[in-house]
Amino acid sequence: MATGTQHAMTHSVKSTTVADLLERILDKGIVVTGDIKIKLVDVELLTIELRLVICSVDKAVEMGMDWWNSHPSFSPLTAPAQLPQDSLSSLEQRLERLEAAQNK
């Protein structure tokens, strides 16, 4: 039988917002890995190894993963590829035809 003293049960729930979670993930980093292997009668046909790293740019540089600094696509000094002049004129002509058809 219960005594006259009742103990109140307290629940402590620590609430984490999405912004807090995202900040923690970007600050610390997270790695997701997975391997997929397809075999047929003990003969390996295909192997896919997946590695995904999610972190801030600062954390990536700290880990030595700063490939974008030397990649030509991300360099401001790299000029965009020039289209040949005949391609440009054919594109201009097509654009003029489309604009004329739209205005009719």
pTM: 0.45
pLDDT tens-digit map of 11-40: 555 677 888 888 888 888 888 999 999 999
The whole-angstrom separation of Cα 28 and Cα 59 is 8
| Buried/exposed code over 63-87 (b: 16+ C-beta within 10 A; e: otherwise) | eeeeeeeeeeeeeeeeeeeeeeeee
Which comes out higher in pLDDT, residue 74 or 3?
Answer: 74
- Alpha helix stretches (DSSP H) within the chain: 18-28, 57-62, 85-103
How many CA atoms lie within 13 Å of 83's alpha carbon, on the beta-carbon side?
A: 8
pLDDT tens-digit map of 40-71: 988 999 999 999 999 888 888 888 888 888 77
